[in-house]
C-alpha cells in the first residue's frame, strides 16, 4: 500500500513536470466552470460534479483527483482559483493545480481546503486506477488493475481486454488475466466457460476471488458451476486457515516480545536483586516520555529520533533508577514488604510528577515512516512492520543483556552479589556499588522498553501501570532470577493468550491465563526454571 | 513522622483558610467533581477547566442573584467509590449549591444514591447508555437515541453497510448501548451471522488479533462497518493497528462514540482519515457562539493548540441553563431550580437551541463527522432538527414502556405507561 502511494506520487510528479513543460493543458470551458463549483464545498454536489468532469476529460484531470484524494487541494477565497498545497518536511509548498508552477505563499486565512468524504475518496481511487491502466511504470499498472478487481464494470473489462493485447510485463499480464477470468466466471455465457474460469481461480487468495466464488456458490447458478465454485472455495479456505494459524503465531510472538521487553528489566531488579520494584512500570513510562521529548527537540528528523531516544532513555531511566536505589531502596534491604510500599509510593510520585510537567493528557509520539504499514507476503498474510521490528528489538536487547551478565566483569559481580552477598563482599566486591549499578541497569532497560512501547500504545502517565502486573507475571512464571526463564515465559504467555483470544475474547483470555499461572505457581512455586544448587538459597 | 505531621497541619490550615474565605464573602458554591488524577484524568481535567472558565465568565457578568460564584474543586481520582465520598463531602461539608461532574456511568451510578439521599443537584456532561432518570441529575450528554441510533442509520442508509462489528470496552455503557443496537439492527432485519460483538478490557493495547478478525469478517463481500464504544486510551492503539494492517476507512469505516477532538490530539491522524464519529458537537462547526467559545477557551487555558469537544459543549449548555434556572427561580434551592430547569432553552454551540425536556435530558442535533488529517472532524451528515433525548430506550423489552417525566403532574423517573405505575425513582 505504502509503495503504491510512493510510486503514485513519483508518477504524479513526472506527469505534472511533463505538463508544465507543455504549459497549461487545454481544459474545456464547461469543465472550468465545474472546477469553480467544486469550491462551494458542498459534499453532495462534489461527487456529481466530479462524475460529470470525468465523463468529459481524461488523463489531464489526474492532478485534480490525486490532490483531492491526498487532501492537498485548496482554493484561494478571493478568486476561487484551485491550488495545491504540499507539506514536505514541515514546510508548505504552494503551486498551481494543473501547471504545477510555484506561487507565492498566500495568507493562511485566504485559502480554504476542498474537503472530501469516503464516497468521493472511493470514486477518486477508482478514477485514478482507471487512468493509470496506461501508466509507464508496470508496478503502477499492476496496482491499478488490482484495485479495479473490486468493481469490474463492462467498460473496465473491455478496456483491460484491449490493453492486455499489448501488455509486455508478465506480472501485469497475470493481474489482467485474473480480472478477465473473474469476469468470465461471473458473466460467462455458457456454464462450461464459467467452470473453466473457476478452475483457473483455484488457489488464488485475492479476497475478490473468494467473494466472487461465494456469490457463485448459490442455487441460482448452474449446478456444475456451483459445484466448481464449492471446490475452489474449499481449497482457498484451507490455505486461509493455514495462514490464519501463522497469523496467530506471529501475534503471539509479538505480544510475547512486548511482555519480554516490559519484564526483562524487572527480571534484573526483582529477579536478581530481589527488590519488589513497583516503580518498574514508571521506568518504562519515563523511557516513553524521553522518546516524546526527543521528537519534540528534533521535529524534522522523526526518522532518526528512535536511534537517539534508545540510548537517551537508557541513561535517563537508569539514572533515576540509581537515584531511587541510593536514596530509598538501599535502606530497606531485606525488608520486602517495606520495599514494596516504598516503591509503590515512588511510582505514584513519578506519575503525578509527569502529570504536572507534561499534563495528564496523552502525548503524541510519531512513528517513523519505516515502522508503519505492513509487509504483505500474500493477500491473506501480512506482518505489520512495527511489530516485526519490536520483536527483533526485544530479542536483541535480551541477547545484549545476556552478554553483559555472562561475559563481562560487571556481570560477574552482579551474579556474585545476587548469589551470595556476604561472600562477594568478603572477596572485595563493593556490593553497595554493584547494587546501584544493577538497579540502574534494570531501570535503564525498562527505559529502552518504553521507547519500543511508545510505538505501540499511548504515551501517558498511566503507561507503566498497564505493564507492571504483566511484568511480574512473566518473571514469576519464568522463575525468579533466571533470564532464560523470562524469555520462555514471555513468549509462551503471549502465544497462549493469542491462541485463546479468538475463541474466548480478550477479557476471558487474560483471566484464564492468570488463573493458570496461579495454579502453576501452587504446583511449582519457583516457576518454570527454578534456580538450582546453592544459589537458590 | 515529622513530615506527616507537617502535611496534616498544612492541610488543616489550608482548608480552614478556604472555609473562612467562604464565610467572609457570601457566594454561590459550585462543586466540580472531576478526576484530576488516575486513568480518567486525561478526559476530566479538561472539563474541570471548562467549569472554571464558565464560572469566571459568569462572575465577570456580575455573578448570579447578586452573588459571586465560587468553585469548590475536589479530586475523586478516577476511583469510583471515592466519587460517592467526595459528593457527600461537597454536599454536607462544603454545602455546594450544584455539582458539575463525573465521567463514565460507573462514577455516576456511584454518586446517584448519595445525591438522591442528600437532595443535591448534579449535571452529567457525557454521552451515556440511558436507562436512568433521577430527580437530582440533569443529563446534558447524548442518550443512545441521540448518538448511537442515528449513527447506525447513517451507515445503513448512506453507506449501505450490511455487516456490523460492535466493538466495545467491557463495562456498563458499551454493554447497554450494544444491547440497544443489537435489538435495533435485528428490528431492521440484520441476521445474527452479520453481527460480530467484541469486548475488550479497559486500556487494551494489543489489538492485533481483533483487527485481523474484523478484517476477515469484513472481507467476505458485504460492506462492513465497526461501531465502536471503545473507551478512552484504548482507542489509540486500536486505530494504529487498523492503519498498520491496512484497513482503510473506505473498506471498513469505524464509527466511534467516545473519540473526539481531545482524544485525537494525542495521535497522528493520517491513517485515520475518513473514519467517523457521532457527536452533538464538533469544534469545526461554524457558528458565532462556537467561535466565541473557542476563543474564550484558548485564552483561558493559554494554549492556542488546545481543542474543544462534545462534553465541553454539554458542560457549557448545562452551566448556562443552570444559571438561567437560578435566575428564574430566584434561589439556589434544589427543588425550585429543578422545576425551573424544565423547559429551559439556551443556544447550543452548533447554531441551534438546546432545550431541557421533562425527562431531564436535552434536545440536541446529531452530527456525524469524518476524521481529517488535522485531527478535526468534517461534518458529513446531520439531523435536520434537534432530537429529544430518550431516557428509556424504545428497543429494549424492559424499558420500552417506561418514560421519565419530572413535570408537576407525575414527578417520576420511570413511569410505566402500560401499568400506569411509577416503579421507583421519585
Q: Are B208 and A456 inside 8 Å of each other by CB?
A: no
With an 8 Å Cβ cutoff, are A460 and B233 in contact?
yes
Question: The C-alpha cell of A147 is what?
Answer: 484495485
Binary contact (B39, A458; C-beta < 8 A): no
Hey, where are the domains in chain A?
2-132, 140-221, 248-536
pLDDT at B268: 74
Domains of chain B by residue range: 26-143+290-363, 145-284+367-388
d(Cα B207, Cα B212) in Å, to the nearest integer? 8
Q: What is the pLDDT of residue A20?
A: 42
Q: Distance, in angstroms, between B250 CA and closest chain A CA?
A: 6
Q: Exposure string (b/e) for B16-26, b if CB count within 10 Å is 16 or more?
A: eeeeeeeeeee
Residues of chain B contacting A512 with CB distance shorter than 8 Å: none
Per-residue pLDDT of chain A (537 residues), as tens digits, is 445 555 545 444 444 444 444 445 567 778 888 887 877 767 777 888 888 888 887 778 888 888 888 888 888 888 878 888 887 766 788 888 888 788 888 877 788 888 788 888 888 888 888 888 888 888 888 888 888 887 778 888 888 888 888 888 888 888 888 888 888 888 877 888 888 888 888 878 887 888 888 878 777 777 888 888 888 888 888 888 899 899 899 999 999 999 999 999 999 888 888 888 999 999 999 999 999 999 999 888 888 899 999 999 999 999 999 999 999 998 998 888 999 999 999 999 999 899 889 877 778 888 888 888 888 888 888 898 989 999 999 999 999 999 999 999 999 998 888 888 888 999 999 989 999 999 999 999 999 999 999 988 888 888 888 889 889 999 999 988 788 999 999 999 999 999 998 888 888 998 999 999 999 999 988 888 887 655 554
Q: How far is A153 from chain B (nearest CA, A)?
A: 16
Q: What is the pLDDT of residue A285?
A: 95
- The predicted pLDDT at position B424 comes to 61
Nearest CA in chain A to B253: A118
Rounded to an integer, what distance in angstroms lies between the CA atom of residue B175 and that of residue B171? 6
Grid cell 442573584 in the structure block, residue: B65
Of A140, A117, A115, whose CA–CA distance to A129 is shortest?
A: A140
Query: What pLDDT shows up at residue A55?
Result: 81
Residue A244: its chain B contacts at CB < 8 A?
216
Measured CA distances, B22 to A301, B70, B108, B390 (Å): 53, 8, 28, 39
Burial A343-370 (b: 16+ CB within 10 A, else e): beebbeebbeebbeebbbbbbbbbbbee
Q: How many CA atoms lie within 13 A of A403 on its CB side?
A: 6
Mean pLDDT, chain A, rounded, equals: 85
- CA distance, residue A235 to nearest chain B CA (Å): 16
Give the CB-side neighbour count of residue A139, counting CA atoms within 13 A.
Answer: 10
Q: Nearest chain B Cα to A151, which residue?
A: B221
Q: Say if the Cβ atoms of A360 and B199 lie within 8 Å.
A: no
pLDDT at A356: 86
Nearest CA in chain B to A207: B219
Task: Please tell me the predicted confidence (pLDDT) of residue B47.
Answer: 95
Q: What is the pLDDT of residue B19?
A: 44
User: B324: burial class by Cβ within 10 Å (0-12, 13-18, 19+)?
Assistant: middle
* Binary contact (B199, A506; C-beta < 8 A): yes
What confidence category does residue B119 fall into, taking pLDDT thresholds of 50, 70 and 90? very high
> Which of A118, A257, A377 is best to mutate for the B interface (most B CBs within 10 A)?
A118
**Inter-chain touch B42–A360, beta carbons under 8 Å:** yes
Which residue of chain B is at minimal alpha-carbon distance from A257? B206
Which one is predicted more confidently, B416 or A494? A494
Question: Which chain A residues are closer than 8 Å to B199 by Cβ?
Answer: 505-507
Mean pLDDT score of chain B, rounded to an integer?
Answer: 88
Q: Do B268 and A367 touch (CB under 8 A)?
A: yes
> Which of A439, A440, A476 lies closest to A275, judged by CA?
A439
- Could you say which DSSP state residue A368 is in? P
Could you tell me the CATH superfamily of domain B26-143+290-363? Response regulator (3.40.50.2300)
**How do the residues of chain A divide into helix, strand and coil, expressed in percent and rounded to 5?**
70, 5, 20
Distance from CA of B66 to the nearest CA of A (A): 36
pLDDT exceeds 50 at position B18: no
Local confidence band at B5 (pLDDT 50, 70, 90 cut-offs): low
Q: Write out pLDDT tens, residues B398-409.
A: 888 888 888 877
Residues of B259-279 as b/e, b for ≥16 C-beta within 10 angstroms? bbbbbbbbbbbebbbbbbbbb
* Rounded-to-integer distance, Cα A290 and Cα A138, Å: 44
Mean pLDDT to the nearest integer, B315-319: 96
pLDDT at A24: 53
Instruction: Return the CATH architecture of domain B145-284+367-388.
Output: 3-Layer(aba) Sandwich (3.40)
Q: How big is the A-B interface in CB pairs under 8 Å?
A: 135
Alpha carbon distance B306, A63 (integer Å) = 34
CA angle B187, B191, B192 (to 5 degrees): 110
- Give the model's pLDDT for residue B344: 94
Cβ-based contacts of B370 with chain A (< 8 Å): 117-118
Helix (H, G, I), strand (E, B) or coil at B71: strand
pLDDT at B291: 93
Helix, strand, or coil (residue B277): strand
Residue A331 has which C-alpha cell? 535502606
Q: Is A122 within 8 Å of B250 when comparing Cβ atoms?
A: yes
The single-letter DSSP state of residue A94 is: E
pLDDT confidence tier of residue B93, bands split at 50, 70 and 90: very high
Q: Is the pLDDT of residue B6 over 70?
A: no
ipTM, 2 decimals? 0.78
The dotted CATH code for A248-536 is 1.10.3470
Q: What is the Cα–Cα distance from A227 to A233, expressed in whole angstroms?
A: 10
The whole-angstrom distance between B341's CA and the closest CA on chain A is 34
Chain B positions touching A247 (Cβ under 8 A) are 209, 212
Amino acid at each position: 500500500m505504502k509503495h503504491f502511494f510512493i510510486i503514485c506520487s513519483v508518477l504524479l510528479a513526472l506527469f505534472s513536470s511533463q505538463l508544465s513543460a507543455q504549459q497549461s493543458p487545454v481544459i474545456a470551458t464547461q469543465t472550468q466552470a465545474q472546477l469553480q463549483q467544486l469550491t462551494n464545498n458542498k459534499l453532495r454536489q462534489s461527487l456529481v460534479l466530479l462524475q460529470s468532469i470525468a465523463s468529459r476529460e481524461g488523463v489531464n484531470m489526474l492532478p485534480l483527483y490525486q490532490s483531492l484524494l491526498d487532501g492537498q487541494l485548496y482554493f484561494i477565497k478571493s478568486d476561487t482559483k484551485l491550488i495545491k498545497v504540499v507539506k514536505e518536511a514541515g514546510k508548505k509548498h504552494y503551486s498551481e493545480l494543473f501547471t504545477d508552477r510555484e506561487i507565492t505563499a498566500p495568507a493562511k486565512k485566504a485559502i480554504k481546503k476542498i474537503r472530501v468524504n469516503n464516497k468521493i475518496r472511493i470514486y477518486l481511487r477508482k478514477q485514478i486506477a482507471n487512468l493509470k491502466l496506461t501508466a509507464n511504470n508496470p508496478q503502477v499498472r499492476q496496482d491499478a488493475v488490482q484495485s479495479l478487481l473490486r468493481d469490474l464494470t463492462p467498460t473496465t473489462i473491455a478496456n483491460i481486454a484491449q490493453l492486455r493485447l499489448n501488455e509486455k510485463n508478465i506480472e501485469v499480464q497475470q493481474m489482467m488475466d485474473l480480472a478477465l477470468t473473474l469476469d468470465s466466471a461471473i458473466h460467462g455465457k455458457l456454464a462450461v466457460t464459467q467452470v473453466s474460469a473457476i478452475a483457473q481461480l483455484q488457489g488464488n487468495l485475492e479476497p475478490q476471488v473468494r467473494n466472487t466464488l461465494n456469490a457463485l456458490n448459490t442455487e441460482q447458478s448452474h449446478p456444475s458451476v456451483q459445484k466448481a465454485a464449492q471446490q475452489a472455495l474449499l481449497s482457498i479456505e484451507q490455505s486461509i486457515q493455514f495462514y490464519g494459524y501463522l497469523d496467530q503465531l506471529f501475534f503471539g510472538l509479538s505480544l510475547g516480545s512486548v511482555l519480554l521487553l516490559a519484564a526483562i528489566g524487572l527480571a534484573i531488579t526483582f529477579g536478581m536483586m530481589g527488590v519488589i520494584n513497583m516503580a518498574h512500570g514508571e521506568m518504562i513510562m519515563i523511557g516513553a516520555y524521553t522518546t516524546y521529548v526527543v521528537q519534540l527537540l528534533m521535529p524534522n528528523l522523526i526518522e532518526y529520533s528512535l536511534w537517539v531516544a534508545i540510548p537517551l532513555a537508557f541513561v535517563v531511566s537508569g539514572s533515576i533508577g540509581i537515584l531511587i536505589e541510593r536514596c530509598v531502596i538501599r535502606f530497606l534491604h531485606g525488608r520486602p514488604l517495606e520495599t514494596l510500599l516504598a516503591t509503590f509510593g515512588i511510582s505514584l510520585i513519578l506519575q503525578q510528577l509527569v502529570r504536572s510537567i507534561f499534563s495528564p493528557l496523552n502525548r503524541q509520539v510519531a512513528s517513523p515512516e519505516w515502522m508503519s504499514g505492513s509487509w504483505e507476503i500474500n493477500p491473506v498474510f501480512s506482518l505489520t512492520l512495527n511489530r516485526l521490528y519490536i520483536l527483533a528489538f526485544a530479542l536483541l536487547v535480551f541477547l545484549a543483556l545476556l552478554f553483559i551478565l555472562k561475559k563481562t566483569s560487571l556481570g560477574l559481580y552482579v551474579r556474585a552479589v545476587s548469589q551470595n552477598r556476604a561472600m562477594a563482599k568478603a572477596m572485595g566486591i563493593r556490593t553497595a556499588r554493584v547494587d546501584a549499578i544493577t538497579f540502574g541497569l534494570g531501570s535503564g532497560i525498562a527505559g529502552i522498553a518504553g521507547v519500543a512501547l511508545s510505538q505501540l500504545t499511548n504515551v501517558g502517565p498511566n503507561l507503566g501501570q498497564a505493564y507492571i502486573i504483566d511484568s511480574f507475571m512473566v518473571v514469576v512464571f519464568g522463575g525468579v532470577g533466571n533470564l532464560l526463564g523470562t524469555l520462555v515465559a514471555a513468549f509462551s504467555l503471549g502465544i497462549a493468550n493469542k491462541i485463546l483470544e479468538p475463541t474466548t475474547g480478550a477479557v476471558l483470555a487474560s483471566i484464564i491465563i492468570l488463573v493458570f499461572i496461579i495454579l502453576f505457581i501452587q504446583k511449582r512455586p519457583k516457576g518454570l526454571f527454578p534456580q538450582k544448587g546453592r544459589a537458590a538459597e | 513522622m515529622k513530615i506527616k505531621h507537617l502535611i496534616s497541619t498544612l492541610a488543616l490550615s489550608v482548608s480552614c483558610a478556604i472555609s473562612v474565605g467562604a464565610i467572609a464573602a457570601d457566594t454561590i458554591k459550585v462543586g466540580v467533581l472531576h478526576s484530576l488524577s488516575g486513568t480518567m484524568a486525561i478526559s476530566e481535567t479538561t472539563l474541570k477547566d471548562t467549569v472554571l472558565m464558565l464560572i469566571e465568565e459568569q462572575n465577570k457578568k456580575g455573578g448570579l442573584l447578586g452573588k459571586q460564584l465560587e468553585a469548590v474543586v475536589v479530586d475523586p481520582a478516577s476511583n469510583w467509590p471515592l466519587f460517592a465520598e467526595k459528593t457527600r463531602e461537597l454536599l454536607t461539608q462544603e454545602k455546594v449549591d450544584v455539582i458539575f461532574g463525573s465521567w463514565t456511568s460507573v462514577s455516576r451510578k456511584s454518586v446517584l444514591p448519595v445525591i438522591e439521599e442528600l437532595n443535591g443537584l448534579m449535571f452529567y456532561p457525557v454521552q451515556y447508555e440511558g436507562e436512568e432518570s433521577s430527580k437530582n441529575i440533569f443529563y446534558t450528554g447524548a442518550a443512545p437515541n441521540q448518538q448511537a441510533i442515528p449513527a447506525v442509520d447513517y451507515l445503513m442508509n448512506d453507506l449501505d453497510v450490511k455487516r456490523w462489528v460492535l466493538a466495545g470496552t467491557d463495562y456498563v455503557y458499551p454493554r447497554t448501548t450494544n444491547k440497544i443496537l443489537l435489538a435495533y439492527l435485528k428490528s431492521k432485519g440484520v441476521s445474527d451471522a452479520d453481527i460480530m460483538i467484541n469486548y475488550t478490557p479497559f486500556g487494551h493495547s494489543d489489538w492485533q488479533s481483533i483487527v485481523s478478525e474484523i478484517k476477515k469478517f469484513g472481507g467476505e463481500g458485504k460492506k462492513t462497518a465497526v461501531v465502536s464504544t471503545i473507551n478512552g486510551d484504548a482507542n489509540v492503539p486500536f486505530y494504529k493497528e487498523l492503519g498498520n494492517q491496512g484497513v482503510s476507512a473506505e473498506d471498513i469505516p469505524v464509527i466511534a462514540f467516545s473519540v473526539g477532538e481531545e482524544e485525537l490530539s494525542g495521535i497522528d491522524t493520517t491513517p485515520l482519515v475518513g473514519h467517523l464519529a457521532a457527536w452533538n458537537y464538533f469544534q469545526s462547526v461554524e457558528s458565532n457562539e462556537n467561535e466565541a467559545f473557542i476563543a474564550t477557551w484558548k485564552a483561558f487555558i493559554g494554549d492556542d493548540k488546545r481543542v474543544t469537544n462534545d462534553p465541553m459543549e454539554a458542560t457549557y449548555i448545562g452551566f448556562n441553563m443552570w444559571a438561567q434556572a437560578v435566575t428564574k427561580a430566584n434561589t439556589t434551592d434544589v427543588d425550585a431550580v429543578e422545576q425551573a430547569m424544565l423547559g429551559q432553552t439556551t443556544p447550543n454551540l452548533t447554531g441551534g437551541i438546546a432545550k431541557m425536556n421533562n425527562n431531564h435530558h436535552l434536545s440536541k442535533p446529531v452530527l456525524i463527522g469524518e476524521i481529517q488529517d488535522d485531527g478535526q472532524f468534517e461534518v458529513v451528515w446531520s439531523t435536520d432538527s434537534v432530537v429529544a433525548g430518550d431516557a428509556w430506550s424504545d428497543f429494549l423489552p424492559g424499558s420500552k414502556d417506561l418514560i421519565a417525566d419530572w413535570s408537576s403532574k407525575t414527578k417520576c423517573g420511570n413511569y410505566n405507561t402500560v401499568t400506569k405505575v411509577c416503579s421507583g425513582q421519585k
